């Protein structure tokens, strides 16, 4: 009987707290999208794409070589003697391994550069976040990556992009 009274008391407290929870103003911002869609983020994307273009083309060429070897194995493999087929299989496996390793290193390099850019952008993001909190009288901003669905009027990503662009133009 004592347990029922405790559960009832807890339920009453939760029901009393519901209107307070409903009054909280919440906004959602997809930070990664905002940072990389801003003018500075687009410029960063252009720079990194230019810097890594040769490596990306080299990796694509390696992928094509591996595909050609694989195709040759499929079409001509049955007509080759064991030694030739073994050599071709070894060459294909070596190309495929090299492709996977170089692609993984490339993706890691891009990821590291993006992470560095995000860190460099942190002061501007924090300042823009403060402005959003004040402008919309928000209690909480949730990262868009953590949200399954959000009403369009609560998604402040576009406003965040505008604030980041305005900060970059004003030089702050």
Distances (CA, A) of 15 to 10, 22, 23, 127, 140: 9, 11, 14, 36, 22
Report the pLDDT value the prediction gives residue 168, as an integer from 0 to 100. 86
Partners of residue 142 on adjacent β-strands = 28
Region 104-122: mean pLDDT is 95
CA distance 38 to 77: 52
> Using CB atoms within 10 A of its CB, is residue 4 exposed (0-12), middle (13-18) or buried (19+)?
exposed
Report in angstroms the alpha-carbon separations of 171 from 16, 117, 122, 162, 168.
Answer: 48, 17, 15, 14, 5
CB 110 within 8 A of CB 48: yes
Look over the chain and give the mean of its residue pLDDT values, rounded to a whole number.
87
pLDDT bin (cut points 50, 70, 90) of residue 111 is: very high
């Amino acid at each position: 009987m004592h347990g029922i009274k405790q559960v009832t008391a807890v339920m009453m407290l939760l029901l009393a707290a519901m209107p307070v929870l409903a009054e909280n103003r919440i906004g959602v911002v997809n930070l990664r999208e905002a940072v990389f869609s801003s003018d500075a983020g687009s410029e960063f994307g252009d720079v990194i794409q230019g810097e890594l273009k040769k490596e990306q083309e080299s990796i694509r060429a390696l992928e094509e070589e591996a595909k050609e070897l694989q195709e040759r194995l499929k079409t001509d493999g049955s007509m080759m003697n064991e030694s030739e087929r073994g050599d071709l299989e070894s060459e294909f496996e070596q190309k495929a391994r090299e492709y996977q390793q170089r692609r993984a290193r490339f993706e890691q390099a891009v990821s590291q550069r993006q992470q560095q850019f995000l860190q460099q952008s942190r002061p501007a993001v924090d300042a823009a976040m403060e402005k959003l909190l004040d402008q919309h009288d928000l209690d909480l901003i949730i990262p868009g990556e953590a949200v399954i669905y959000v009403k369009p009027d609560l998604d402040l990503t576009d406003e965040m992009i505008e604030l980041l662009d305005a900060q970059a133009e004003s030089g702050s």
